Amino acid sequence: MKYLIINGTPHKGNTWKLVQLAKESIQLKDQLAVFDEIHLARLNLPFCSGCSVCFRLGHEKCSHHEIIGQIIDKINNADGVIFASAAYNMRETAMLKNFFDHLCFMLHRPNFFTSKALVITTAGGVGGKRAAKSISTFLKGIGFNRCYLFSVTTYSWNDYKIKDITRVKLRKVVSKFYRDILSGRLHSPSCMLLIPYNLFRGMSLAYIKGTEFETEDGLYWTEESRSKSVYDSAVHVPIYKKPIGHLFYLIGKIVGRKLVVTYKK
């Protein structure tokens, strides 16, 4: 199995110790596991410039695509992705947030439907869980099929010692993450995911090719495989959830007709 580690913390500190433990736990289960590491601090990724080119014309046109495109490819090629972040101001670090800002177009055009994540956060006192939740909420929005969260309060600057109980708990979460990846099973989306997905599916019809404000969203949502289905075809949606998708698609279509977002070209 291939694992990608995205380190959103500027140094290898407290959070990295937990990442190392997670890595060891995976290696115990899978001696052939291969790990690739991305340390965002080393990439010198500029801030998202807010040009909205990714939304309008496609993410390949982003002036930072050389960096972002490679990470997207690596996520797509990994069986599992580990995101690591310290809690800064009770959220993910600005560096990880900056990376996420570059992927915000995927909230309009989700992508990682077969990806599964393990999110590891630490906080000195408070906010670690909130940071993990913030990360996983974003990941689910861009398509991630499942996120496992692990958060620890370290009460330490650079001198965190992992307690035995934390080791046990982390191993448990890693085990679930690993078994889930191994199963190859894709979980059906929650209703809370079907709602925004289908609102976008409906609303984006106002931006299809030939309309005044045609965008990449319009192209994406009119793709043959996507236009008629309440979720990506890779993921099974049980019959009882489908009406929710259809309903919000209709609402999206109505809203899209009344509320047109203008794009200056």
Ligand X SMILES: Cc1cc2nc3c(=O)[nH]c(=O)nc-3n(C[C@H](O)[C@H](O)[C@H](O)COP(=O)(O)O)c2cc1C
Min. distance of Cβ 43 from ligand X in angstroms?
17
| Binds ligand X (CB under 6 A): choice among 13, 23, 162, 173 | 13
Q: What residues from 154 to 213 belong to the interface with ligand X (CB under 6 A)?
A: 154, 157-158
Determine if 58 is a binding residue for ligand X (CB under 6 A).
Answer: no
Determine if 71 is a binding residue for ligand X (CB under 6 A).
Answer: no
Determine if 4 is a binding residue for ligand X (CB under 6 A).
Answer: no
Min. distance of Cβ 104 from ligand X in angstroms?
23
From the CB of residue 19, how many other CB atoms can be counted at a distance below 10 Å?
22
| Interface region with ligand X, contact rule CB under 6 A, candidates 123-131, 176-184, 228-236, 255-263 | 123-131
Min. distance of Cβ 9 from ligand X in angstroms?
4
Residue closer to ligand X, measured from CB, 122 or 166: 122
Q: What residues from 78 to 117 belong to the interface with ligand X (CB under 6 A)?
A: 86-90
Min. distance of Cβ 89 from ligand X in angstroms?
5
Contact present, 95 and 11 (Cβ < 8 Å): no
Name the β-bridge partners of 208.
none
Name the β-bridge partners of 83.
6, 119
Min. distance of Cβ 161 from ligand X in angstroms?
12
